[in-house]
Chains A and B, each alone.
Chain A
Amino acid sequence: MSRALPVFGLIDCNSFYGSCERLFRPDLAKVPIVVLSNNDGCVIARSYDAKPYVKMGEPYFQIKHKLKQHGIVPFSSNYALYGDMSERVMTLIESMVPAVEVYSIDEAFVDLTGINDVDGLGCKIRSQVLRCTGIPVGVGIAHTKTLAKLANHTAKRLQAQTGGVVNICDPVKRDWVLRNTDVAEVWGVGRRMKLHLDGMGIKTAMVLAKADAWTLRKNFSVVIEKTARELAGTSCLELDEPDAPRQEICCSRMFGKRLTEMAPIKEAVATYVMRASEKLRAQNSLCKKIRVSIRTGMFNPDEAKYASGVLIELSYPTDDVRLLTKAAVNAVERVFRPGFKYSKAEVMLVNLCQPGEFTEDLFVTTQSAEATRLMTVLDKINERWGRGTLRSAGVPVNPDWAMRREMMSLSYTSRLDQVWRV
């Protein structure tokens, strides 16, 4: 008995960050906007009407003048808002399809196998998400994930003609899209791979689909071979199940300004430990090792460069923020060298395990039941009253080394005190 071909959908939010900002700023409906990376470094998102003027990744300080000239409004990234809006979008999608793989903050693959009217469902998802969140999405539908991604790209490119939903399960439509798409636009083809493929005369997605899979594997990798097979219509990639607990947890941020003293770096590291340990407890893991690293800026030729890290083995697997902070602050003392201008610190919890998963040595101490209870209470208080209500003593409330986010919009959906005055 032959099984029906799988059908995948890729749903992608259009200019997601910009769309989130506009939902609560209707006055900017027709004003081009850009969103900047942490520390207001460079452009990471643009509304459609800003795209002709600003390139992705352009440093903010270089384009200030250009933004003013074209009336483009810059925003610092407001991840509290984007995260909340993303959750709404994903919840809506989940309620309408059999299975979802949340691929990124603004994209999800869905399983549409066995659904009669996939185009109708695609349109319904689009209108429902738009209505409930104000965020426009594009929907690509095909027999493989790689083709669904391509269909989505086409939906975006030909928004007016397609209404934002493109189904290329039909081979005639699929071939049209393959012929009219540059190979660089294919999911998983990076800039270097594009150069290689160019050299072999593979310029469109169609030529890649018809390329000999074994040659690709031999010359490059199994990844690009799979990409080619997927383009030709054979599904090689499945919908990924919701993720297993992470094997490592990282919290790393640039400081808002260069730091030369040890005390504020310790504060920063304690703050990052606080956050990382929250994530650790949220996934019910314990960690056996913690890695702390600090570094100076790497690009300024006039500044002395230094980077160093330290890995600490804890005496027992733990999620106790007090123990982790003590270890991390101690680590800063070990790696800090005076005379440098530090720009960034990173805290990484590694060797994670689930409670009960590690072999308990009879003679080794484990985390006390009180410590575990205390952490539960800590998380509950912070969940109820907001992150940072209860924190370890080394974590300041308003540090002057905090990230620069001078043009951040309000946390409209997560903070009662951040009110929108119209």
Chain B
Amino acid sequence: MNYSILGPISEGGSKVPLCLFRVPAGFPSPAADHIEAQISLDEVLNIRAPNGYLVLLAGESMQGAGIYEGDLAIVGRSIEPAHGRIVIALLNNEPVCKRLCLCGREVILKSENPKYPPRYVLEGDELAIWGVITSSVRSHV
């Protein structure tokens, strides 16, 4: 699976207020006092954190997990690489995106596509977890 690390998006003026009203010249908006906060996708996806990185995913081996070619993944480097998480792993210094399975003493990197067999991590292999994928974003246009 190919991927490319992208990095933080500029914060910019893209915060979406929960309610948006034009200030009328005559009467003040009755909702003005009820505007509570603003939603920031940066915050929801936690991509401003110093451990957050953007990675562009490619290939079809993770389709079963809902990850398709060209999806943008948010990767947290300080997140525990627990059993079942989708990770960017370095297998013998080669980066791959797979589901991490810790079954007893066995470590398996599983694809989510029947065309790709699971990869058992063997004794001579070197495995490091680069980061854990916390969410992915797909464009529908």
Contact = CB atoms under 8 A, between A and B. Distances in A.
Q: Do they bind each other?
A: yes
Interface stretch (A32-40, A202-210, A390-398, A412-420): A412-420
Contacts of A411: 7
Interface stretch (A71-79, A130-138, A361-369): A130-138
B95 interface: yes
Nearest to A385: B10
A422 B78 CA distance: 23
A419 B53 CA distance: 13
Contacts of B68: none
A415 B78 CA distance: 23
Contact of B95 (A26, A134, A384, A415): A26
A144 to B, nearest CB: 29
Interface stretch (A88-96, A157-165, A299-307, A312-320): A88-96
Interface in B45-65: 50-51, 53, 56
A24 B128 CA distance: 13
Contact of B5 (A24, A27, A29, A131): A24
A414 B6 CA distance: 6
A128 B51 CA distance: 9
Interface in B1-47: 2-8, 10, 12-13
A248 interface: no
Contacts of B10: 383-384
A412 B55 CA distance: 9
B1 to A, nearest CB: 8
Interface string B102-129: 0000000000000000000000000010
Interface residues of A, number: 30
Contacts of A421: 2, 4
A413 B51 CA distance: 12
A84 interface: yes
Contact of A26 (B2, B4, B94): B94
Contact of A422 (B2, B51, B53, B77): B2
A416 B93 contact: no
Nearest to A84: B7
A105 B58 CA distance: 33
Given A92-B51, A134-B77, A384-B10, 15 more contacts: A26-B90, A26-B93, A26-B95, A27-B94, A131-B77, A132-B78, A380-B13, A383-B12, A411-B7, A412-B5, A412-B7, A413-B6, A413-B8, A415-B6, A421-B4
Interface of B: 2-8, 10, 12-13, 50-51, 53, 56, 77-78, 90, 93-95, 128, 130
7 contacts: A84-B7, A84-B8, A89-B50, A131-B51, A413-B6, A414-B8, A422-B3
Interface of A: 24, 26-27, 29-30, 84, 87-89, 91-92, 128, 131-134, 380, 383-384, 411-416, 418-422
